[in-house]
Structure 1
Amino acid sequence: MHDSLRLLPAEDAHFDWMIEEASPRYGLSLPPGGIHPADVLTLLRNVTASVRTAQRPGMYLIVDADEVVGLCGFLRPPTDAGEVEIGYGIAGARQGRGFATSAVRLLLDEAALDAGVQIIVAGTAVNNPASQRVLEKNGFDRCGEGHDEDDGPTYRWMRAARR
């Protein structure tokens, strides 16, 4: 695990900054090429606004030292059955360094603090073995298949919130 890695609740101002790919702000910098394209960041901002509650910010900046290396978070509020879905992404310039695995571990710690969360689910593209390994390393089991209009064929993953 990356000792300096932390999750910082993502605010609207952070999304503005990342979309603009502006110079360092908030004591943070962006990697070369930024985090995600502007349209993806706008979508994630909207997801964050729909999920944000007093108990959960929705999306988090994944910060290593003072650099934002990616985003992760909860894609929807918990269902009545206590199921919540997570998502994560690492900047292209920072992939392959274990940041996603460590960030998901921290996100699972956050989810475990909410007594209403019992099950955590995630989805990966069938052709994304790196993302599949992230979930396997964090104790997820593959539980089904699906289809996403952007990613095509997908695998569904699940694990208990507390182990």
Structure 2
Amino acid sequence: MISLELMSKENSIDIYFFEKENQKYFEQNLLPRAINYFDLLSFKEMTNEWLVEQDNHEVYMHLIRDFQGVIVGRINLIVDGNDKKTAELGYRIGEHYTNLGYASEAVKIVLDRAFNSYGLNKIIAGTAIDNIASKRVLEKNGFIFSKIIENDLQINNKWIHTEVFEITNL
């Protein structure tokens, strides 16, 4: 059993330490954070900006906690600026918590919130073509394959092709 908790000024330090602890792991498959991301003062300034965006319903940034309250991951919705009804989903699970079902459960909960609390109608998510686990999470939660974006990102000097998935609230 997990819980999702919106980012707040109070829990943002938890995010900082979670990201710092998993930095090397995440950078194996994701773009690295900005240089100043792990400078605590800069991180606090960024947090203030994110909280304004969240108050304006431009983003919904969640911590994923296990039943003991330990942060096991993050899951975010970035709202499309045009219609405010579409958002891009992103999530990351800490190195020691993968393959335990946390991502699937978090996506299920965040979809419920997106469609029933946040007023969103469509969620888009992308994953590297070879990220079988992430594709499984999306498909398990009802996402449908939409398209492939070739040479979408360059990570560790290697071009990554992205598979895009979508789900619409009926």
Tell me the percent identity.
25
Q: Unpaired runs of 5+ in structure 2?
A: 27-31
Question: 1:10 pairs with 3, 7, 14, which one?
Answer: 7
Change beyond 3 A, Cα 1:58–1:77: farther
User: Residue in 1 aligned with 2:64?
Assistant: 62
Task: Work out the CA distance in 2 between the residues paired with 1:115 and 1:90.
Answer: 23
User: Residue in 1 aligned with 2:98?
Assistant: 95
Cα pair 2:58 2:78 within 8 Å, conserved = no
Task: Work out the CA distance in 2 between the residues paired with 1:60 and 1:158.
Answer: 20
The within-5 A match list for 1:1-163 is 4-19=1-16, 21=17, 34-36=21-23, 40=33, 42=37, 48-49=50-51, 51-53=53-55, 58-65=60-67, 66-77=69-80, 79-80=82-83, 82-114=85-117, 116-146=119-149, 147-150=152-155, 152-162=160-170
Q: Output the aligned Cα RMSD.
A: 3.1
Task: Work out the CA distance in 1 between the residues paired with 2:4 and 2:80.
Answer: 18
Which structure dedicates a bigger proportion of its chain to helix?
2
The TM-score normalised by the length of structure 1 is 0.75
Task: Work out the CA distance in 2 between the residues paired with 1:159 and 1:114.
Answer: 16
- CA positional deviation for 1:93: 0.3
Task: Work out the CA distance in 2 between the residues paired with 1:104 and 1:8.
Answer: 13
Task: Work out the CA distance in 2 between the residues paired with 1:157 and 1:51.
Answer: 25
Cα pair 1:85 1:121 within 8 Å, conserved = yes
Task: Work out the CA distance in 1 between the residues paired with 2:122 and 2:81.
Answer: 9
Task: Work out the CA distance in 1 between the residues paired with 2:15 and 2:57.
Answer: 24
User: Residue in 2 aligned with 1:26?
Assistant: none
Moved over 6 A (4+): none
Q: Unpaired runs of 5+ in structure 1?
A: 22-29
Aligned residues: 148
- CA positional deviation for 1:109: 0.6
The TM-score normalised by the length of structure 2 is 0.72
- CA positional deviation for 1:82: 2.2
